[in-house]
Amino acid sequence: GSGGGGGEAYRHAASQAARLLTEGDARQDVSNVLWSLATSGRLRENEEAVRTLWEGYEEKNRGGDTSPNNVEAIQLRQVALFAKKCEGMDLVFSDEFDRIIDNSIAVDESAESMMEAQVAKDLNEFGFQGMTREVSPFDTEDNGGQIMKIDIAFEKERVALELDGPHHFVSIVDATGDGGRGGKNIVRRNGTTKAKTRLLEGTGWQVSRLG
């Protein structure tokens, strides 16, 4: 939801990151805050702070001795995708810094799970046609092709089948109703997984998750 309490927390985090950026090397903090705002759908409502952080991040890196690390680079590419596809905002770096970001991204092209291979085999045996594995839902100019792919895609129908292994879930202890004793574990999909679903749905894909 977009309740006031949550919104205030995000605004405080953005303000804190902006302060840290001016005082020292807080690049990872900045990319973390931008990514959190993006995946929670709060870029537009914090647009002024977002643009300050975005521009400040490049300024901090310009002429520096170190480039963004892999995590930061991927986060920033994802932030730009969420901004454009879900909130109608353009967040862009200079061409020179764009190339630095691209060169900082390392993607494991062999990351294909046994689960994905088995599901694809089963779908073939059941007669499903027209599916493609490891498909980018984005145009090449969106710089998203290598950082966010659909596990199994039916491109003509725009149906995405996402296969969720253990790293897609988080376990939460629900201690309500018994004084905090003997709370049960509730397993839910994590924020990153939910955010990917929202991004795909925002670009016109129907998403089914199997996990």
Three-state SS at 210: strand
- What residues does 208 pair with on adjacent strands? 161
Interatomic CA distance for residues 38 and 75, integer angstroms: 10
The pLDDT confidence band at residue 59, using thresholds 50, 70 and 90, is: confident
Amino acid at 18: A
The pLDDT confidence band at residue 1, using thresholds 50, 70 and 90, is: very low
Which DSSP helix (H) or strand (E) runs through 10?
helix 4-23
- Supply the mean pLDDT for the chain: 79
Interatomic CA distance for residues 16 and 29, integer angstroms: 9
Kindly report the number of other CB atoms within 10 A of residue 156's CB atom: 9
Interatomic CA distance for residues 81 and 135, integer angstroms: 16
With a pLDDT cut of 70, the percent of the chain lying above it is 76
2-16 burial string, b = 16+ CB within 10 Å, else e? eeeeeeeebeebbee
Averaged pLDDT, 118-132 = 86
The pLDDT confidence band at residue 61, using thresholds 50, 70 and 90, is: confident
Handedness of CA 129, 130, 132, 138 (dihedral sign): negative
Residue 2: the pLDDT is 45
pTM for the whole structure? 0.71
More confident position, 141 or 119 = 119
